[in-house]
Amino acid sequence: MRFPSPVAATWLADLLGAELLGNTDAFANGINEIHKVEEGDVCFVDHPKYYSRCLNSAATFIIINNKDVEIPNGKTLLVADEPFECYLKIVKHFQPFEKQVEPIHPSAKIGEGSYIMPNVFIGNHVTIGKNCTIHPHVSLLDYTEIGDNVIIQSNTVIGSHAFYYNTKKNREIWYKRMESCGKVVIENDVEIGAGCTIDKGVTAATVLGQGTKLDNGIHIGHDTVVGKNCLFAAHVVIAGGVIIEDGVTLWGQVVVNKTLTIGKNAVVLGMAGVANNIEGNKTYWGVPAQDASVERRELVWIKRIPELWKKVMG
């Protein structure tokens, strides 16, 4: 999430009630998760296991619960007992919940030639490009960005919060929601079927690339980036943080595990389970998904087992 304008380290420390160490004159541009951070960003860390990764990341500002760590050159530490609570405070300050009583928020921008059918909900700061068709009962939630020539079928929800929780077993409620302050970006010429759900990024964007087509009943998790001209059949489920390169085809009921990459022009056949990174320009099948030609040969040999057993027992 980008801040509306850069904010001073001293201002952040006051907001969070944190102790300021290191470069106290720096200005922060936004807040991001560790795998999305850029120079000028704020990130948080609350477990010693991840101190080094966070301190040595691109982030300029680190909210941390230990003041005795070595501060890398140019970094700013914001020391607080509960870094996760500080993250929530920043998100709620810059993206507070806004009650909405009208179906289309006044801040929404809708391009020329776009047709919004009855009973569509459009949230705060949503943008819709030119010549789009949004069918009944679609929900476009806050900060969603829709390109030109996009078609979205009925009962689809775009921009719902990520299924993403901070976990601590030493508190009464183990799982506490990590509030999403990212967005969904739908590029030009995308078509989305009925009853699909697409989660917003936790701090960045979930993206559907230009020309991609989705069938009905598909779920795409937070921060997943889908390339151009991909084709997904019904009931595909994609977890968070996945990278799907251009031209990928996922047939019906394929399930894709989190934080992996599917290479360009790969084809995954129906009901497969993608558990690891897979290369492009190949066809995959099975659970876990593997080269379809290998899987077929294995099935042939499995069917021959009774015959071979009879010969052995002869």
- Maximum C-alpha span of the chain: 84
**Which domains does the chain show, CATH number per domain?**
2-94 (3.40.1390.10), 109-296 (2.160.10.10)
pTM score, two decimals?
0.91
Catalytic residue among 35, 105, 137, 222: 222
What pLDDT is recorded for position 295?
78
What pLDDT is recorded for position 85?
95
Q: Is-contact 106 124, C-beta < 8 A?
A: no
Low-confidence ranges of the chain (pLDDT < 50): none
Q: Which of 271, 313, 261 is nearest to 292 (CA)?
A: 271
What pLDDT is recorded for position 303?
80
Terminus-to-terminus CA distance in the chain, angstroms? 70
The yes-or-no answer on residue 135 being catalytic is: no
Q: How far apart (Å, rounded) are the C-alpha atoms in residues 78 and 69?
A: 12
What pLDDT is recorded for position 81?
95
What pLDDT is recorded for position 313?
80
